[in-house]
Amino acid sequence: MVEYDDAYEAMMEVDHGPLGYFGMYDVRDAVREMLARLLESRREKDAFLHEPPNFGEYTGDVCADVACQATFADAAFSQAAVAGIAPLFETLLKNAAEKLREAWAERPLPEHPNERWNWKGKKFWNPKLFRTDNGRKRESFREGTRQFLESLGHDDVLNSFTGVVFEALFEYRNAMLHEGYVWSKATLDKFCAARLDRKAPHIDRRMMPLSDDARCWGDWFQTCECDGQPWMITVTDRFAHDALLAVEDLARSLRHIESALRANSQQ
């Protein structure tokens, strides 16, 4: 007889895919709805800028003020978008790590365990924790997830298009969180010079049919200038679209890892 929990999980995966299996389907839909409303608001502001009303001799000044306000509104949209998407990745990783811990059960250590396997209790299974070069534990989903998956022998999960989205999302989110809408010159220069031309690996359409071409960070971020110099960085509609597909791809990969662990434990 199939246990209730097993039957429920199977139903969720059939109906809602890997995200449903990890209890993320409703959250994903809520974020989609939020992004749709933000995108609609952005389009309304863009339409106003392209066809501003006539204020006579004051039209130029009014348009300049509106353009400035629209730039800040775009930055606010960008911050809200990444603030909604980043927790999707974080919650997925925490939920998946718990299932992976259960699936690993009493399995022996890998043939060549790394330092993370020395961690006691549930610390190993916390994707937010990572080990620094001097051996200290710190918190960062970006670094912790990479070390966690590497310890399980699946670092290839983030050596992909999904990994590039993951990196871009958290680097941008962290900059917005710590520096606000207008970043320091050092952060702007670093982001513009070292990030906007970063290429993503070619997308395997069999796994994740996003497009025929690899993306780069320049497809996801746009630079707003003031007096010819970078002023603000905002996200594009394409990034919101790709990030939602990337979280689904990550869920699919994590589900595959968990299924393989459970299958091996039953042999």
CA distance 126 to 97: 7
User: Where residue 158 falls among pLDDT bands split at 50, 70, 90?
Assistant: confident
Q: Decide which of 123 and 108 is more confident.
A: 123
223 conformational bin, left if phi > 0, alpha if psi -120 to 50, beta if neither: beta
- Predicted TM-score (pTM) of this structure: 0.78
Beta bridge partners of 130: 138
User: Where residue 128 falls among pLDDT bands split at 50, 70, 90?
Assistant: very high
The bridge status of strand 129-131 relative to strand 229-235 is: unpaired
CA max distance for the chain? 81
**Residue 113 pLDDT more than 90?**
no
Note the pLDDT tens digit of each residue in 221-247.
888 877 788 888 888 888 888 898 889
Sign of CA dihedral 80, 199, 203, 256: negative
CA distance 96 to 255: 8
pLDDT over 70 percentage in the chain: 75
Q: Decide which of 96 and 189 is more confident.
A: 96
Residue pair 117/109 in contact (Cβ under 8 Å)? The answer is yes
Residue 216 has what pLDDT?
67
CA distance 242 to 220: 9
CA distance 13 to 262: 16
For tokens 């497809």, the residue is 219
Element (H, E) at 231: strand 229-235
**Residue 53 pLDDT more than 80?**
no
Give the chain's radius of gyration (CA, Å). Answer: 22
Beta bridge partners of 223: 233
**Residue 154 pLDDT more than 60?**
yes
Picking from 100, 102, 94, the residue whose alpha carbon sits closest to that of residue 127 is 94
Beta bridge partners of 224: 232
First-to-final CA distance of the chain: 20
The bridge status of strand 137-139 relative to strand 129-131 is: antiparallel
User: Where residue 51 falls among pLDDT bands split at 50, 70, 90?
Assistant: low
Residue pair 196/216 in contact (Cβ under 8 Å)? The answer is yes
Helices within the chain (DSSP H only):
4-21, 25-50, 59-104, 141-151, 161-179, 185-194, 217-220, 237-265
